[in-house]
Amino acid sequence: MEKTYCSYHPTKPALWHCEGCDAAFCPDCITRRDLGSHRKNTLYLCPKCGSSASSLPVQNLIEPFWNRLPRFFVYPFTTTVVVFMLVLSLFITLFSSPSLVSGIIQLLLFGVLLKYCFAVLRQTARGNMNPPDIDEHTIADDFIVVAKYWLLGVVFIAAGLLSLAVCTRLSLEIGFAAGMGLFAACIVALLLLLPAEVIVLATSGRLLRALNPAVSVRMAVRMGSSYLLMNFFLIFLYLAPGTLAYLLRPFSPGFVTTFLLALANCYYSIVAHHLMGYVILQNHDTIGYDVDIEEQNACIVEGSSPDDVSRGVLNAANILIKEGKHSEAADLIRQETHGDITDLELAGRYHQLLKLTRQDRDMLEHAKRYLELLTKAGRIETARTVYLECVAADPSFNPRPQILFKIARSFSEGGNSRAALEAYNRFIQSSPDDPLVPKAYFLAANVFYEKMLSPEKAVKTLKRLMQKFPDNEIIPYAKKFLGRIEQHG
């Protein structure tokens, strides 16, 4: 199927199309309106004309699994999954001694791993590229699926032993080499069929259906070359833990080797089931597995945009910007938000548009709110840049006192001493009754002495502080600082 790409992000596959505008949109561009608490109650609107956008086939978003192989291997590296693997591997190691109790506990622990792996497979097959949560629902609910998985494995082993018995008997008539060659062919056929059986079990939940060779073969044939390529990578994943243990055994104690083998089994099992889930997703249309586009479209493309009004306004503004309509984009943001912007990215885009279109008065007014958002988010370097832009446009510009004080301190910490002193002075002049003014004097004196190497100005600033605020709690520190300057002076 030929892919349709976003009209405004040519490298991103689209998932919606507007008939009126004849434009396609990716999850980063579409405008969403929530009609309820569930994702199915979300309305998807064209960011250009506001009319309802029609959904494109979900297959348009799915890239072949071989194009995203590195992402399969980093899939388990989230904090919760890593902790889960470490804890599970530790318990498997602690109960690795041969005994009936240890055997039962090991069986339960591997069951927990298989249960989580099935959750990974199913969630990936539905289009969600994030690992499932580690909770009671994921680990304990519907544990019968683990028993079915084990029965599938038992049947696989039994089929292998039966093949060995039959081929050994045949080797008496056709020769040992021919008999063992036939046995090897049977094992390869069983290995090739096993992932298809797991996929049938995962998609249908029915063990007898998964054990039906006709169903599994038909599944594998429908997937075609992607199924064979998946098998190649699965063989690598299943052999990796044993290979690792073989390489480490001569160099590490038995306990460490057992732990690392258990950890490798956990890791590669999760990766393998994530891979199988994605192959189901990639071939869902040919194997008849339904993916709910309204439920899962935002999950298939990682990092898609959140569902809120600010994001919708930003999407529409971005489209106008790409069309060169900067003034219209600024007007849109102004009309939709009425100046009450709480989203940092939208506030930044509005600031750039106002600056670009030379709307200085609106830019200076908006900058006060933008600086608050920047400092709250810890984006202090950007806040300094915006502050300097505003001061250059209007020397009398003043943000809120607390924001101006934070910016002044950040200038000092960032090495811009002159800007720090200017900001401290502006803060003192504009807010003489603010409780932070004594501290501003003290910090300005420190800049004069430590950064500007001007002890005379530092002394003058400290004396002014002590004269204006003789009872302030910072005065003892100011006196101590003044004495140190005079001692070295």
Structure confidence at residue 2 (pLDDT): 62
From 133, 98, 3, select the one nearest 58 (Cα to Cα).
3
Structure confidence at residue 76 (pLDDT): 92
Structure confidence at residue 267 (pLDDT): 92
Q: How many CA atoms lie less than 13 Å away from 398 in the CB half-sphere?
A: 14
DSSP 3-state of 482: helix
Residue range 416-489 forms a domain whose CATH class is mainly alpha
Structure confidence at residue 288 (pLDDT): 66
DSSP 3-state of 76: coil
Given a contact cutoff of 8 angstroms between Cβ atoms, the answer to whether 320 and 21 are in contact is no
Structure confidence at residue 297 (pLDDT): 45
What is the overall mean pLDDT for the chain? 82
Structure confidence at residue 84 (pLDDT): 92
CATH 1.25.40 residue window(s) in the chain:
416-489
From 83, 102, 82, 81, select the one nearest 93 (Cα to Cα).
102
From 405, 414, 397, 471, select the one nearest 441 (Cα to Cα).
405
Structure confidence at residue 294 (pLDDT): 43
pLDDT tens-digit map of 203-262: 777 888 888 888 888 888 888 888 888 888 888 787 887 777 777 777 777 778 888 888
Radius of gyration of the chain (CA): 33
Amino acid (1-letter code) at residue 237: L
Given a contact cutoff of 8 angstroms between Cβ atoms, the answer to whether 31 and 332 are in contact is no
Q: How many CA atoms lie less than 13 Å away from 275 in the CB half-sphere?
A: 29
Which parts of the chain register pLDDT below 70?
Answer: 1-2, 33-42, 57-61, 285, 288-309, 489
pLDDT tens-digit map of 396-445: 888 888 888 888 888 888 888 898 899 888 888 888 888 888 998 888 88
The model's pTM: 0.54
Structure confidence at residue 83 (pLDDT): 93
